[in-house]
A and B are shown apart, each in its own frame.
Chain A
Amino acid sequence: MELPIIPPAASTFANEVDHIFYTLVGLTIFFTTLVFCLLIVFVVRYHRGSKANRANRSFGNLPVELTWSIIPGIIGLVIFAWSARPYAEAYNPPADAQEILVIGKRWMWHLQHADSGIRENNELHIPVGKAIKLTMISQDVIHGFYVPAFRVKRDCLPGYYNTVWFIPTKVGKYPFYCTEYCGTNHSKMGGFVYVMTPADYLQWKENGGNMEVAHRETAAERGYDLFNKYGCANCHASEDGVHGPTLNGLYGSKVVLQNGQTVTVDDNFIRQSIVNPDSVRVAGYPPLMQAYSVGDGPGQLSEEEILELIAYIKSLGGQNLRTLKTTTSSATQPSKGAGGK
């Protein structure tokens, strides 16, 4: 029977995490051995009946107390700082990270490559060496997306986008799991991440992934279709801002809300604007926008559709954005520019 001990390390984060982990292992072995040895040696040496020297018994010693308080404290602070750095880095995806939209629901994972529109279920194909950013939301309860080989994990929350990013460093097939208990089939909710060489990945993309090559659109292009289908264009398409705020150049900018608060327009803000507009109403606009209901029923927007709409709105330009490029070679639609005309 196999006795595996070390998981594969297949991302840039994995190596950093493993360094800290093994340092902690070393500290654990050191202090555990120290304590066990002290206990065993003292119990044996000073066992009742032994002839050890028990003169000058002491019951307290301030320098000793300070030493064994301060030294572990310093070791702890060092480990804290060392570990905080990669954690902070994980909150700042590079601007050119390839975005994958992730929807978790009981009990499967649905993913969409934003740049190519390729959809996958319970699988993720990505190229090695490139930054990948996951934008995740749940359709029901809290889930968690965890790739042990990458040492990467982030909760997938209902009603709120969480993002996580990583750079895979080794080609291979790595399991991923749902890591937040979500009911009956929690322990079957997972799949595999396939890290491919750039050439293989391009090939895979050309073939439309593992799904049938249907209507090939990027997430933003799908978002444009939805923008018209659900009537958003009626108020938001014009640039004069009369009926509703223009969305050109909106993403990443700051807006002032009705309550005086200044917020940054990010994914979560846009989602709230769609599903609960009154809660994030921009100052100067009357409460005229209907809230869109989220779900799979008729007339409802699914989480995936909301993500596609957000992708479209991002493509209308804005701060800190990479320009949207349609990279699909068989795209037949003209690229959708600003204004959606």
Chain B
Amino acid sequence: MSSISVPGAVPVPESRKERENYLNIQHTVASWLLTLDHKRIAILYLLGITFMFAIGGAAAAGIRIALVRPHDTFFSNEVYNKLFSIHGIVMVFFFLVPSIPAVFGNFALPLMIGARDVAFPRLNLLSWYLYMTGSFLMLLAIIFGGVDTGWTFYTPYSSVYSDTNVSLVIFGVFIAGFSSIATGVNFLVTIHKMRAPGMTWFRMPLFVWAMYATSIIMILGTPVVAITLFLVAMERIFGFCVFNPVCGGDPLLFEHLFWFYSHPAVYIMILPSMGVVSEVIACFSRKRIFGYEFVGFSSLAIALLGFLVWGHHMFVTGESMYSGMVFSLISFLIAVPSAIKVFNWSATLYKGNVWLSAPMIYALGFIGLFTIGGLTGLYLASLAVDVHLNMTYFVVAHFHYVMVGGAIFGFMAALHFWWPKMTGRLYPESWAKLAALIMFIGFNLTFFPQFILGYLGMPRRYHYYLPEYQAWNILSSAGASVLAVGYIIPFCYLLWSLFKGAPAGNNPWGAVGLEWTLPSPPPSHNYDEVPIVTWEAYDYEPVIQAELAGAAVSHPLMTTEEPYIKETE
């Protein structure tokens, strides 16, 4: 039974529905919990991070509810401090850091390079268990009363003074960190050693370049935060003297060690989204990304420069003004590769054949919001201005623009772009576009007022504020409720699509890429025959020429079994 009632589409043969794929090949719980298939691991991760996102989102709701009133708010000080701490820790370590790499890196990366799996499938499964263990410990900590140190765990507050479940949370983050490291190792080796014959470095999709750069950061940076938090726990539990000045320790040492990871960590969160945007912009412009080499190298440049800027979180700590200047200078320089990407994506649209699908809307939203988020980072890189804006709501607005407007919009683009491939189902396009619009509006309404609040001087992590700031806070909270609707709608229709969505076919988007030559959902082993690649990345010329000549313009859905890529002669 074909459920597509679309003019010009090829009806889906009945036999397709029974075809064996990675989802239906085995149904037991054990076959999922002991799977070595990167695609199943990706789904397992998707379930895990979605749950943690809900926890972090609930904490955010609590924060915005509390901030509707300048004083006499709904929560006690202790609860409020726990809410923002839990929100930050969960969202950073248990949602954003794994998100795109663990879900879409795992699912799509091997497919995109023509591989049958990642280099180390067992390590991959272990990484999921490490993530789930870390998440479980975090949940335990929340149930046992939460943590109130902020996601930055500054000492000596976290190592000596806080009487919340700091060590338990640290244990959870520590273990989850190894999940990151394992994922990074796996991807690096996979990209180096498992590309299909003929897929040279410069024929790789830009998403693969982005995952490579991200993996470098994961491997080099995560061990530092793991050890640093471990030292905090040692000081806390055993009284080791590391950061507590009373016994000769140095609280600023913690800040250096923490930010040495946590600044590159933000590039772990944004680079994968940038990779997704490259894929989606190319596909829905029907055009190779403009300046492919520049975009690919800019990912590496961001990864490397990202390790040299951590001191810009410490401009007001009293460190040497010369070190402040070096960090400020490099922080300005790191804006250049990001600017290169934004301009190259924009140039890709020029003379393309643009299809405004839901993934494309999210990708375009990314570019606009990341531009604002990235530019506002320059205010914070700027020494004298940062003195005023540091630790205010300006910083909160800045990082939410890049992490939500950037990273999460990229995640949503990836989710909608690869949903048909992962599930074999199409989601309802109109609902998706509506949700994207609601998310865009809700997001800006939530976070733009926070730039103003920051400039006015409202500090972050503040439960109480001056009464004259209330209007902006109410606006922000109203925006948050709209944003929440924007998140709930996709959850509903994506779930719905699993049961009622139209069958997707190999290539509903007419995309160019090895993953789109496979059935949706793909078979467990991916490729019957490993493809031999003889064409460049983003070879959309045949597609755009066909479309400009009048083919498939009236309706985009292509449900043919024909692979779009020419296979080996």
Contact = CB atoms under 8 A, between A and B. Distances in A.
Interface centre among B340, B371, B465 (most CB of A within 10 A): B371
A90 to B, nearest CB: 7
Contact of B372 (A28, A76, A85, A151): A28
Interface in B149-165: 149-150, 152, 154-157, 160-162
Q: How large is the interface on B (under 10, 10 to 19, 20 to 34, 35 or more residues)?
A: 35 or more
Contact of B379 (A24, A31, A175): A24
Contacts of B227: none
Interface stretch (B108-116, B215-223, B318-326, B523-531): B318-326
Contacts of A198: none
A145 B250 CA distance: 20
Nearest to B293: A60
A8 B18 CA distance: 70
A97 interface: no
B156 A141 contact: yes
Interface string B57-94: 00000000000000000000110010000000000000
Contacts of B315: 87
B461 A187 contact: yes
Contacts of A184: 77-78, 81, 148
B328 A84 contact: yes
Given A48-B353, A48-B553, A181-B154, A4 B469 contact: yes
Interface stretch (A153-161, A203-211, A227-235, A253-261): A153-161
Nearest to B381: A80
Interface in A300-318: none
A32 B25 CA distance: 49
Interface in A139-188: 140-142, 144, 146, 148-149, 151-155, 157-160, 162-163, 175, 177-188
B246 A294 contact: yes
B321 A35 contact: no
Contact of A180 (B154, B287, B352, B471): B154
Contacts of A53: 351
Interface string A91-123: 100000000000000100000000000000000
Contact of B470 (A1, A157, A159): A1
A186 B81 contact: yes
B133 interface: no
A153 B384 contact: no
A151 B388 contact: yes
A45 B395 CA distance: 36
Contact of A57 (B287, B293, B457): B287
A46 B388 contact: no
19 contacts: A27-B375, A35-B342, A35-B367, A38-B346, A39-B368, A46-B349, A54-B544, A60-B292, A72-B335, A73-B333, A77-B329, A79-B332, A80-B328, A142-B156, A149-B457, A162-B317, A177-B459, A187-B464, A294-B246
Interface of B: 77-78, 81, 148-150, 152, 154-157, 160-162, 245-246, 248, 250-252, 285, 287-294, 315-318, 321, 324-325, 328-329, 332-333, 335-336, 339-340, 342-344, 346-347, 349-356, 364, 367-368, 371-372, 375-376, 378-379, 381-385, 387-388, 390-392, 452, 455-457, 459, 461-466, 468-472, 474, 544, 547-548, 553, 556
